[in-house]
Amino acid sequence: MIDADSLVVLHRRHFGRFAATPLANPLDAYPAHRRAWANFRTKEWAGFTLVHPDLFGSMILQDAKYLASSEIYVYDRASGELAQRAANAPGGSLRLPAKLADAAVALHQRGYRLAYNFEPGRVRVMVRIDPAGATPGINANLVLDAAKASPPLVVSARLPGGRDASLYTNKIVYPAAGAIEVGGRRYEFDPARDCAILDEHKSRLPYRTEWTWGTFAMPAPGGGFFGANFAARPQFDDQEEESCLWTPAAAEPLARISFEPSAGDDLSPWTVRSADGRLDVTFTPEGAKGVSHQLGLASIDYQQRFGSYSGSLRAADAVHSFEGVHGVLEHMKARL
């Protein structure tokens, strides 16, 4: 574990797993004459996956530098209705901070506002999106308890596929209180049961990039969380992966994750395992959403499936078996 307050110290970037979330300043590793290009190639985002028994949902604020954007979806399990909204802004306009703690980030346009306020001891997630034709509005005010959050998964790694290609990610599970309203439906969040999983990235990805990723979490008896975050992408053997098992005490490292679909159907189950067997789960999709953009030299082909995980986590203290824990599994193939 790296015990450092900053990702870059004296122009030298740390690579490995961090004990705590550092100041994430990847551009400080570059001389002044290279910073503008390095900044343009750095893709930044902060998103949350929501875990609640009556819905599947996630949201994101992201800056690809040629375009900034925001997306949110909420899928009602009882009705099967999927509400999706999105907005775009000029690249570079989001200005995600070097450290989210005590910072705020938002995309605000007429009829669309999605904001995160990282305040002392809590995170406030605020959504105000007006109805648009037959598409319902989405309103949310969630309060995430930072004092009861999981240990962070923080990884800095070199990536193959281009000069200075690299990954920085920070992932945390928070208990969630508050409510989301979609049209006439209101979903109350109970912090003893429900949570939001942060996914923050500041990564200089290869021009042609691809990954498969998933996550889930559940409250642990006595406080804290059990869960996992796992990904497969082109990777150097000597670099850490953005994968872990969450326990109330730690974000235990995982590596060499395999994703195996049972069939070509979008809603067929997937088997997800780590090579050492400490993660062994089956993901059963309940629905899916996708994004496809062709922007000249850039393109995005993205699908996120939402559903439930069942199986086992073999942590340092014990084996934890479970069924029907909500989570997501996504695949991204892009030219960035």
| 263 confidence band (pLDDT: 50, 70, 90) | confident
pLDDT of residue 293: 64
Query: What average pLDDT does this structure show over 160-164?
Result: 89
**Separation of alpha carbons 203 and 158, rounded Å:** 10
| CATH fold for the domain made of 8-335 | AttH-like fold (2.40.370)
Q: What percent of the chain has pLDDT over 70?
A: 98
Q: Is the pLDDT of residue 297 over 80?
A: no
The amino acid that residue 267 corresponds to is: L
The single-letter DSSP state of residue 192 is T
**Separation of alpha carbons 28 and 34, rounded Å:** 10
Q: Is the pLDDT of residue 112 over 90?
A: yes
pLDDT tens, 170-203? 999 999 999 999 998 999 999 999 999 999 999 9
pLDDT of residue 300: 73
Q: What percent of the chain has pLDDT over 90?
A: 86
HSE at residue 323, side-chain half, CA atoms within 13 A, is 0
The single-letter DSSP state of residue 150 is P
| 335 confidence band (pLDDT: 50, 70, 90) | confident
pLDDT tens, 269-278? 999 999 999 9
| 295 confidence band (pLDDT: 50, 70, 90) | low
pLDDT tens, 20-64? 999 999 999 999 999 999 999 999 999 999 999 999 999 999 998
pLDDT of residue 266: 77
Longest Cα–Cα distance of the chain, Å, equals: 55
pLDDT of residue 317: 87
pLDDT of residue 232: 97
Hey, where are the domains in the chain? 8-335
| 204 confidence band (pLDDT: 50, 70, 90) | very high
Among 152, 197, 162, CA closest to 42: 162
Q: Is the pLDDT of residue 283 over 90?
A: yes
The amino acid that residue 133 corresponds to is: G
Mean pLDDT, rounded, of the chain: 94
User: In terms of DSSP bridges, do strands 225-232 and 185-189 run parallel, antiparallel, or are they unpaired?
Assistant: unpaired
Q: Is the pLDDT of residue 267 over 90?
A: no
DSSP string of 243-276? -EEE-SS-EEE---EEEEESSSSTTS-EEEEETT
pLDDT tens, 60-97? 999 989 889 999 999 999 999 999 999 999 998 998 99
